[in-house]
């Protein structure tokens, strides 16, 4: 049986993930300039024609500035799916940069 704390923690994390996805929708719109983008956790760079290499770097830059976080080069290369972006953002927010 799942404890109430664990259920509450999961619900809180889900709410955080949804908030970040909402923030990412705005950042994608600013960087890609396409108002009809459907951004979900399952969205990948293959789903969005505008999500090419230059736009990817601009998106990462916008995310870093918005959240005041920094990604390493391997992390930048790994961010080709929204769910991965959300996971890395959550981890960075929990553990601020030195």
Beta bridge partners of 55: none
Q: What is the pLDDT of residue 10?
A: 52
Confidence (pTM) = 0.81
- Average pLDDT along the chain, 98 residues, taken 10 residues at a time: 42 82 95 88 93 94 96 89 94 74
**Structural domain that includes position 13:** 4-94
| DSSP code of residue 46 | T
In 3D, which of 63, 64, 60, 41 has the Cα closest to residue 52? 60
Residue 29 belongs to domain with CATH number? 1.10.1200.10
Structural domains in the chain (count): 1
Q: What is the pLDDT of residue 34?
A: 83
Phi, psi angles (nearest 5°) of residue 81:
-145, 140
Quickly count: other Cβ atoms within 10 Å of residue 61's Cβ: 14
């Amino acid at each position: 049986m799942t404890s109430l704390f664990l259920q509450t923690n999961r619900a809180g994390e889900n709410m955080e993930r949804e908030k970040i996805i909402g923030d990412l929708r705005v950042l994608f719109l600013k960087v890609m300039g396409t108002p009809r983008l459907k951004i979900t956790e399952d969205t990948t760079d293959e789903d969005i024609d505008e999500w090419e290499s230059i736009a990817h770097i601009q998106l990462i830059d916008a995310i870093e500035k918005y959240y005041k976080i920094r990604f390493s080069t391997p992390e930048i290369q790994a961010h080709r799916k929204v769910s991965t972006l959300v996971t890395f953002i959550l981890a960075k927010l929990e553990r601020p940069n030195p």
